Amino acid sequence: MANAFSLGMLSPEGLQFLRVERIPVEKVPVDALSTVGHQDTAAMLSGILGRPVVMNRVTMALAPGDVVYVAQYKGPRLPEGTTVLPEGASFSWLEVQLMDRGVAK
């Protein structure tokens, strides 16, 4: 589980395809590894998911078949220390899968 997606997560060798699908929050697996890089964001996601989400600032490198669950924030810039979403702000959830070029439809 991540709070952002970057093209830097893709392998530099060869072409790959991404499958991106908007999903309901209930579809985020309980065992999804957190790669959320900010403590405040991890705290907000913990509240939304109803389970602990730890801050885990790591560099992610994806291989074909890997899936990342992205919590995409929409709203105003959050002040430091924010643990509750301000009114009108939200997270949308995306399932992003890296696919080998031979698998794309």
- Amino acid 35: pLDDT: 95
Q: What are the extents of the domains in the chain? A: 7-100
Nearest alpha-carbon partner for 36 in 79, 75, 74, 69: 69
User: What mean pLDDT do residues 54-68 have?
Assistant: 91
Separation CA 43–CA 17 (nearest Å)? 32
Task: Give the pLDDT confidence of 73-97 residue by residue, as tens digits.
Answer: 999 988 888 888 888 899 999 999 9
Choose which CATH entry (3.40.640.10, 3.40.50.11170, 3.40.1670.10, 3.40.50.2300) describes domain 7-100. 3.40.50.11170
Task: Give the pLDDT confidence of 15-52 residue by residue, as tens digits.
Answer: 678 899 999 999 999 999 999 999 999 999 999 999 99
The more confidently predicted of residues 67 and 16 is: 67
Report pTM: 0.86
